[in-house]
Chains A and B, each alone.
Chain A
Amino acid sequence: MKILCFIQTLEEKANNNSLESLCAAQSIAKNNSGELHAVVFDKNVAEQLKAYELNSVIYINNSELDSYNPEYYLKSLELLNNELNPDLLIFGHSYETRDWVPRLSARLDKAFVSDCVSVQFNSDLHFIRPIYQAKLNEKIKLNNQGIVSFQAGSYSTENIASGSCNIDEKSLDLSNIELKINPGERFKESAEGVDLSNAEVIVSIGRGVGKIENIDLVKSLAEKLNAQIGASRPVVDAGWLDHSYQIGSSGQTVSPKLYLAVGISGAIQHLVGMKGSKNIIAINKDPNAPIFEISDYAILGDIFEILPKLIEQL
């Protein structure tokens, strides 16, 4: 089995989700006596990847690939696929790969099993992915060559096997592409920068708080616990808190000692950003809220009745 694992880069750094997928790729290669090659568009990251257990690092040296443009990325992987004929193409399920890998799937006519969380080695290779907002899982088997992506946090970069390999440098002919997509400069919208990555305690606010006036109640709990405030996407979309407070796939990833979720139901996009927390307490009145599935303590009740009394107790 021949596997190519694409490592997404930005400003000479590897995307963490890509490195996690590399860990999954190593485990698939090992269990299938397969060969594994990392594909990368950045020279510095190619150098770093040499220290991992891989058959080779394929470094594509083209100036067109210096910053992300889906059309160049697509063409590069199309050319590489046709040259190397891999059985499996593996990606991290990042925002960027979500933008171009589906098109690659159509172009190559290879099925794309996106957003997987684990792999099972049975008589066949089985990929597990969440469906229905993670209320169910499905188990999938590829019938032919295919493409797979792994959700952030499903594998840990700490488990990447080290080794040593060579860099295979290539240049591709990307000259005949008439661009229909012209990305501009990247920018940040928030002046407020909130860094939750090192917070010990986070009290996080969800749609269940109902309205902006109720945020103060949660803030007084956070003060008692010496905690920082976080939020789920609906809360920042509603403008109750700035976007920089957002935790989840479109915001920050956190792993505090305590994550206390107030009125958060736990859409998969939110869980991705906080499931690594050491202790998770969730307060919600819906017994079926998905966040309870990953909680150490599930507090079933009305936040407006519980919080004032809890604040008193502390």
Chain B
Amino acid sequence: MNICVLIKQVASEDSPLLLNDDKLTLKTDSINFVSNEPDTYALEEALQLKEKNDATVTVCTLGPESARQVLKDALAKGADNGIFISDEGIDTSSPLTIAKTISSALKDNNYDIILSGLQSNDIGFSQVGLLVAEYLKTSHASLVMGTEIINDGSDIKVKLELENGWFQWSELKLPASLTIQSGINSPRYATLKGIMSVKNKEVKEFNKNDLSISENNGYSVIEKFTPVKSKETTIIQGSADEISEQLADVLKNKIRVVS
């Protein structure tokens, strides 16, 4: 069984987000880049499926040179090989173009299962895993909370999270592309042995010229900006004594939820 995990490199949650004068790009030198957290759950699910079902796990990323790090991290955790797609010359603001590019790189490998995180913590369209399903004509499921290979490896049973606390089991024909809900498992850490093994694992390279992509620039990003606050916020800070006194006053005399 062949499993592919899509991982994106994104700004860490605590990175300062400073816009350049073009109002479209961020100042990258202040950003700490990490693997998109939701994708780490997808990787862990792939590694667990591998342990149960004798599979090969490929990790794939599309991004700038720095994104090679997310492949290294995933290989150190136990993925078998990698695919690096350079984003040079590719309009990565369009999910359709991203998905076409990735699908073009993956199409000849006949993966049984493609896994990705529910959404990226940067742009957050939550589309790419599902677009890839359409381009590669696989079945799909999203918000996956559990997986189990059934019927001698021809199908997969997935637990889905629906709205308002509802769940559902769904059976999909393989190949399938699944987007994984955060919290489905506990992502592992790399072992020293794993880290040492990275240099012996193969990473295939693709760039724009290797792939057939019909770009879809169905929309344009006009600008990025800091949201205007919709309400006035009173900041309360100081010593714990000062804070608790002021907060008690707010609760008793301003909002009046306690007397």
Residues of B within 8 A of A55 (CB): none
The answer to whether A79 has its CB under 8 Å from any CB of chain B is no
Q: How large is the interface on B (under 10, 10 to 19, 20 to 34, 35 or more residues)?
A: 35 or more
Q: List CB contacts (< 8 Å) of A161-205 with chain B.
A: 180-190, 200-201
Residues of B within 8 A of A131 (CB): 122-124, 224
Give the interface SS of chain A, mostly helix, strand, loop or mixed: mixed
Given the known A-B contacts A112-B95, A144-B218, are A106 and B244 also in contact in the complex, defined by CB atoms under 8 Å?
no
The answer to whether B235 touches A296 (Cβ under 8 A) is: no
The answer to whether A32 has its CB under 8 Å from any CB of chain B is no
The answer to whether A310 has its CB under 8 Å from any CB of chain B is yes
A149 → B minimal CB distance (Å) = 10
The answer to whether B240 touches A99 (Cβ under 8 A) is: no
B110-136 toward A: CB 8 Å interface, digit per residue (1/0)? 000000000001111111001101110
The answer to whether A141 has its CB under 8 Å from any CB of chain B is yes
Closest to A183 in B: B170
A99 vs B131: C-alpha distance when bound (angstroms): 10
Give the interface SS of chain B, mostly helix, strand, loop or mixed: mixed
B32 → A minimal CB distance (Å) = 13
A90 → B minimal CB distance (Å) = 15
Q: How large is the interface on A (under 10, 10 to 19, 20 to 34, 35 or more residues)?
A: 35 or more
The answer to whether B251 has its CB under 8 Å from any CB of chain A is yes
The answer to whether B255 has its CB under 8 Å from any CB of chain A is yes
CB contact between B130 and one of A99, A243, A246 (< 8 Å): that residue: A99
Q: List CB contacts (< 8 Å) of B92-120 with chain A.
A: 94-96, 99
The answer to whether A103 touches B130 (Cβ under 8 A) is: yes
The answer to whether A132 touches B96 (Cβ under 8 A) is: no
The answer to whether A183 touches B165 (Cβ under 8 A) is: no
The answer to whether B250 touches A297 (Cβ under 8 A) is: yes
CB contact between B243 and one of A184, A244, A293, A306 (< 8 Å): that residue: A306
Q: List CB contacts (< 8 Å) of B163-184 with chain A.
A: 163-173, 181-183
Closest to B174 in A: A180
The answer to whether B255 touches A258 (Cβ under 8 A) is: yes
Residues of B within 8 A of A209 (CB): none
B35 → A minimal CB distance (Å) = 16
Closest to B135 in A: A106
Closest to B230 in A: A294
A111 vs B237: C-alpha distance when bound (angstroms): 46
The answer to whether A309 touches B244 (Cβ under 8 A) is: yes
A280-314 toward B: CB 8 Å interface, digit per residue (1/0)? 01000000100011111111111001100110111
The answer to whether B17 touches A135 (Cβ under 8 A) is: yes
A211-249 toward B: CB 8 Å interface, digit per residue (1/0)? 000000000000011110000011001000001101000
Which of B94, B130, B237, B238 has its CB near the most chain A CB atoms (within 10 A)?
B130
Closest to B126 in A: A98
B170-209 toward A: CB 8 Å interface, digit per residue (1/0)? 1111000000011100000000000000000000000000
Q: List CB contacts (< 8 Å) of B15-50 with chain A.
A: 17, 19
CB contact between B96 and one of A105, A137, A288, A309 (< 8 Å): that residue: A105
A185 vs B233: C-alpha distance when bound (angstroms): 45
Residues of A within 8 A of B216 (CB): 109, 111
The answer to whether A115 touches B165 (Cβ under 8 A) is: no
The answer to whether B219 touches A142 (Cβ under 8 A) is: yes
CB contact between A225 and one of B164, B230, B235, B251 (< 8 Å): that residue: B251
- Residue contacts A-B, CB under 8 angstroms, 19 given: A98-B142, A102-B125, A103-B130, A111-B96, A115-B125, A135-B227, A139-B224, A142-B219, A144-B218, A181-B171, A183-B170, A186-B167, A237-B183, A250-B163, A251-B164, A258-B251, A309-B243, A310-B247, A313-B245
Give B contacts to A, CB under 8 Å: 11, 13-14, 17, 19, 94-96, 99, 121-127, 130-131, 133-135, 138-143, 160-173, 181-183, 216-227, 229-238, 240-241, 243-245, 247-248, 250-252, 255, 257-258
